[in-house]
Amino acid sequence: MTGTAAREWTKVSAFIRKNWLMARRNIFTVFEVVFWPTVGVLSVGLLTRFLDLTPETTAFILIGTLALSIIQVCQLDVAYAILFEMWAKGIKHQFLAPIGLWHLALGSWLMGILRGLAVFALLAGLGWWGFGFDFFHPGPAALVAFLLGLFLNAVIIGLGVCTLLLLFGLRAEVSAWSAVSLILLLAGIYYPVSLLPPPVAAVAAAIPLTYFLDAFRAHYGFAPVFEAALLKGFATSLVYLALTYGALGAALTHARRRGTLLRLSE
């Protein structure tokens, strides 16, 4: 690794380490990784048993539950890059340091991916043990593509939350916990988007996660709603990633000019 690359990686890894240390010191972050995902998959899985759903329908619903848990955990790590500093009244010091937004975004996202993979391992084990559901059935390539799609959606949501925090301060912190639920509601977490009214279905078709769920569920016997779902999912994800990163940069510039960073540090 060259000297420049090593310096850049040091800046990125600083955010990985910061999120790790903050999570390790806060017992409630254990609930994000272990408690809530476990409650989610067990409650939904038991509901499918009570309703005596077919294995295919059970797979459809459990895939949605998995997506919800992984995206929520991963995007929170991205949002925490701003939230932790706001809670500690140190946001101005973070942006006085010689780091770029991409260091913040990439470092916190990588930590989110690590925690998201831990959630996947937990839920895959619970799904197999409790309900005989195999998340590895589609094969390595399909599974990696699906997880990558979830992580891309997570960083998009996380960057959007960070943008709102810089624009509106802690009044917008509720978005860190509510944004995922709204998006998954539209993307068809527990139902095919074909059931939605046409105007709402059009909105769902603009959400990258819709395509990743559709593509992965096709491996469990469901007819895909969209053609070339993975291609559309990755294409729209890259577009939204560029837009949200640009919006975050604009929000930071706006916050500096209006003195928002100073007010949030008092």
pLDDT (tens digit per residue) in 19-34? 888 777 777 777 778 8
- Write down the pLDDT at residue 266: 66
- Listed by start position, the domains of the chain span 3-264
Q: Categorize the per-residue pLDDT at 129 as very low, low, confident or very high, splitting at 50, 70 and 90.
A: very high
Distances (CA, A) of 152 to 159, 192, 241, 256: 11, 21, 8, 28
Number of residues in the chain: 266
Query: CA separation (Å) from 155 to 32, 63, 138, 147, 161?
Result: 17, 20, 24, 13, 10
pLDDT score of 15: 83
Report the pLDDT value the prediction gives residue 255, as an integer from 0 to 100.
84
pLDDT of 172 reads 82
Predicted confidence at residue 4, as pLDDT, reads 79
Three-state DSSP state, 12: helix
Quick one: which H or E segment has residue 160? helix 140-168
Q: What is the pTM of this model?
A: 0.93
Q: How confident is the model at residue 143 (pLDDT cuts 50, 70, 90)?
A: very high
User: Residue 27: how many CB atoms within 10 A of its CB?
Assistant: 8
> At 262, which amino acid appears?
L
Tell me what pLDDT residue 151 has: 98
Would the pLDDT of 174 be above 90? no
Of the ranges 91-95, 106-110, 112-116, 231-235, which one carries the lowest mean pLDDT score? Answer: 91-95
DSSP for the chain, please give it.
--HHHHHHHHHHHHHHHHHHHHHHH-TTHHIIIIIHHHHHHHHHHHHHHHTT--HHHHHHHHHHHHHHHHHHHHHHHHHHHHHHHHHTT-HHHHHHSS--HHHHHHHHHHHHHHHHHHHHHHHHHHHHHHH---TTTT-HHHHHHHHHHHHHHHHHHHHHHHHHHHHHGGGGTTHHHHHHHHHHHHHTSSS-GGGS-HHHHHHHTTSHHHHHHHHHHGGGTPPPSSTTHHHHHHHHHHHHHHHHHHHHHHHHHHHHHHTHHHHHT-
Is 80 exceeded by the pLDDT of residue 92?
no
Q: Which residue has the tokens 């959400």?
A: 207
Mean pLDDT over each residue of the chain, to the nearest integer: 89
Instruction: Work out the percent of the chain whose per-residue pLDDT is above 90.
Output: 52
Q: Say whether pLDDT at 74 is over 90.
A: yes
Q: Which two tokens stand for residue 89?
A: 């009244």
Q: Which amino acid is at 11?
A: K
Position 124 pLDDT exceeds 80: yes
pLDDT given at position 118: 94
Encode pLDDT of 199-224 as tens digits: 999 999 999 999 999 999 999 988 88
As given in the structure block, the two tokens for residue 116 are 């998201």
Token look-up 């895909």 returns 224
| Per-residue pLDDT tens digits for 221-253 | 888 889 999 999 999 999 999 999 999 999 999
Average the pLDDT over each of 5-9, 185-189, 242-246 and give the range with the smallest value.
5-9
